[in-house]
Chains A and B, each alone.
Chain A
Amino acid sequence: MMVQPVLLIALPLFFAFLLPLISLWSKKVLKYVVMGVMAFNAILAFIVLIEALKAPIFDIIAGFQPPLGIVLMVGPLGAFIALVINVAAFVISLYSATVTKEPLLKYYMLSLLILMGATGMVLTGDLFNLFVFLEVTSIAAYGLASYNKDRKGFEGALKYVIMGSIGSSFVLIGIAIIYAQLRTLNMLDIATRLGEMDPYTKIVAFVSLFLGFGVEAEMFPLNAWVPETYDGAPHPVSAMFASMSAKSGIFALARVIFTIFAFSNYLWFVVIMGILTVFFGEIIAYVQKNIKRMLAYSSIGQMGMIIMGLGIGTVLSVQGAFFQMFSHAMGKALLFIAAGYMIYAAGTDRMDKMKGIGRNPLIGIPLLIGILSIMGMPPFIGFYGKFYILMGGFQQGYYAIIALFLAASIVEVAYYARFIKIAFEKSERKYPAPNIWVYAPLIIFAIIIVLFGIYPKPVMDILSHVAAFLAGGA
């Protein structure tokens, strides 16, 4: 059966508009409706992925051939990331059932729309459309970040609004420059006619787009919003940021680098930004005492690794970067959900007050799997991402970069190991048992991490299309 990728965007949007009408009838069904929509969307994303593996899908919107109209350009990699985002969204929506603060209707609408925006960013083949979906994603994220309506939430959301608006403005400037010169907005059209652009304007346009999407991708030095926003947001929302908006931002970055500007070799600028991001994230994460801030900084470090992998630009390293997107989306969402439970159970967000919290196997086992995967231990998915990025670097002989990368990984192992020690320490303290909405998502993520860690072949098959992506394909 042919499923058009536009349905992945239209369906959440349709239900986001429908939710207020449903809430007039019954408020209790809202969360089940949202779960159902997200599950269905994930299934659609899977079907789209199967079709995209045969040949890239071009979905023409409004019946106008590109570049006159908008076209969705769904290659295997885009469909893969869309599937990752949709699966993560569905599993996080299970955990969202623990949110009780009003107005729940707005919460569910925003969570459907952040999914729609993130999916749209990944699927679109039009530069201005990418900007529109960036706006949808980030504005939904601002609303969700301040959902708790407390001091921390407002502080984080305000920082995010400021950084995010500056980033969007830069994206818009970049698009304006490109459109003024080439009079087209279609990505492939831009790519084929890039040679007509003046070299200086080309660089300015690239840097504007790179910086703009860098805000969403948590790149140094544009990531000052990350710790406060992750810390102040409701727990499911922190997981959404790590696995949805950050992933769509980094994929947009990959689109800018490879599809539009068609760089297919070593990009020192991107690698340096990546390595700085890694160091900034990991070293500050080491000194954190608050668990969500530690995870936020660790998230910055992981995103830096992805940016580095994209910058090295060989097939192996970009494969690694995409694998890392997958593993980070799954692992970090798991850890944020676990952190949400632990903050609730321990009554504080300080890690030293959480002694023995992991001794309940329902929490402890998924937590351990998630942490080991993020560290990059072999039987879990986190291993492959880091491994392929390193292999890509080795192949090209960038030993200095590899050394720095490994040093940062050691720091990462150190602070996670310290947390494991606290969480599994013997303690007299009794913690409340998690309910099903907490441990079900944890277990689902843990199963995904272990399953694809032991048997990564399906993912590697999809990632074998990286070579075509680097050559400027969909």
Chain B
Amino acid sequence: MKRIVAAILAILIFIVLALAFVKIPFGNINLSDYHYYNPITDKQTSDSVPQHYLVDGKKDTGSTNIVTAVVVDYRGFDTLGEVTVLFLAATGVGSIMYIFEKEKRRKVRRANAVVETASQLLFGFIVLFGAYIFVHGHLTPGGGFPGGAVIASAFLLLYLAYPRFHAEHKTLNVAESLAGLTFVIAGLLGLLISGSFLYNFLPFGVPTYLFSAGIIPVIYVAVGVKVGSELTGIVDAMMGVRE
């Protein structure tokens, strides 16, 4: 009975939402009709927000990757919030999985030689690839979040190959804190220099070069380090104490 009610409810919600989404045009039909209203200057403009991002994104931010331009610059404050969400998740897991001294240790077995050798070979390359993804975030597809996740996957491989492996918690926490502080301080410097939090105060340089796009690479490196250390910390906390 419970299941039938749940199924009916789910179908109902689906129908209601589907009816709403069929009325929405996707793509760029009538893009010229869109205009936006600026509440501060109280003016209407004949531009649309997505169109502005696509046309003027490179000029406004210096980033050739428009997704990065939106994520780190136009809506950088949201990204700071999302970084905080991940930080919270890691903190919450750390709090729930907190290990008391007396808790018993879990016995684990060694992995086989193939996994151990392969992980030694691959670890460096995976970390390098992760770093590449976030360092080039403003130039090519990628950025801090996927780059950090790739780095964390390298550590996951170590946990797989060496079940007794323990990431140093203090180091992880310090890396995480410093990366978070870098992001906030970059924002505060923008506030100090130009009166606007997270303002891109560094010179843009020439787009398509590694050192371009102002503070975007700085922030993406911080995000990459942060995401990498946080995900590693979450994995470590969930593995518990092993011997």
Contact = CB atoms under 8 A, between A and B. Distances in A.
Most-contacted residue by chain B among A14, A20, A102, A198 (CB, 10 A) = A20
A180 B34 CA distance: 12
Interface in B75-94: 75-78, 80-82, 84-85, 87-89, 91-92, 94
Interface string B187-201: 110110011111110
9 contacts: A62-B196, A63-B199, A68-B49, A106-B98, A113-B88, A149-B96, A183-B36, A183-B48, A204-B17
Given A60-B196, A69-B74, A142-B92, A20 B174 contact: yes
B98 A102 contact: yes
Q: Which among B80, B89, B174, B196 has the greatest number of chain A C-beta atoms within 10 A?
A: B196
Given A136-B85, A198-B24, 7 more contacts: A14-B188, A21-B177, A61-B77, A67-B38, A106-B95, A143-B96, A200-B19
Interface stretch (A126-134, A328-336, A393-401, A445-453): A126-134
A1 to B, nearest CB: 14
A139 B89 contact: yes
B98 A149 contact: yes
Nearest to B170: A24
Which of B84, B181, B198 neighbours the largest number of chain A CB atoms within 10 Å of its CB? B84
B130 interface: no
B173 interface: yes
Nearest to B24: A180
Contact of A183 (B34, B41, B191): B34
Interface of A: 4, 6-7, 10, 13-14, 16-21, 24, 58-71, 73, 102-103, 106-107, 109-110, 113, 116-117, 120, 125, 128-129, 132-133, 135-136, 139-140, 142-143, 146-147, 149, 173, 177, 180-181, 183-186, 188-189, 192-193, 198, 200-201, 204-205
B173 to A, nearest CB: 4
B196 A61 contact: yes
Contacts of B16: 204
A173 B38 CA distance: 24
A109 B194 CA distance: 30
Given A103-B94, A129-B78, A143-B88, A65 B198 contact: no
A181 B24 CA distance: 6
A63 B200 contact: yes
B36 A67 contact: yes
A294 to B, nearest CB: 27
- In the complex, which range does the number of interface residues on chain B fall in? 35 or more
B191 A116 contact: no
Contact of A60 (B40, B78, B82, B170): B40
A62 B174 CA distance: 27
B73 interface: yes
B167 interface: no
B26 A180 contact: yes
A192 B195 CA distance: 28
Contacts, number: 191
A4 B198 CA distance: 13
A67 B74 CA distance: 10
A136 B84 contact: yes
Given A66-B40, A70-B77, A120-B81, A21 B92 contact: no
B176 A20 contact: yes
A403 B177 CA distance: 55
Contacts of A205: 20
Given A10-B184, A10-B187, A102-B98, A68 B91 contact: no
Given A64-B74, A120-B81, A10 B88 contact: no
Please list the 9 inter-chain residue pairs (A to B) with the smallest Cβ-Cβ separation, ordered nearest first.
A143-B92, A132-B81, A17-B180, A188-B39, A106-B95, A204-B20, A63-B196, A6-B197, A62-B198
Contacts of A117: 84
Interface centre among A67, A68, A133, A181, by most chain B C-beta atoms within 10 angstroms, is A68
Nearest to B39: A188
Contacts of A129: 77-78, 81
A183 to B, nearest CB: 5
Contacts of A61: 76-77, 196-198
B197 A189 contact: no
Count chain A CB atoms within 10 A of each CB in B36, B53, B170, B187 and give the residue with the most.
B36
A135 B85 contact: yes
A146 B97 CA distance: 11
B39 A24 contact: no
B24 A18 contact: no
A177 to B, nearest CB: 6
B88 A139 contact: yes
Given A10-B184, A63-B199, A143-B88, A201 B24 contact: yes
A173 B17 contact: yes
Nearest to B56: A68
B240 to A, nearest CB: 14
A19 B174 CA distance: 10
A464 B88 CA distance: 38
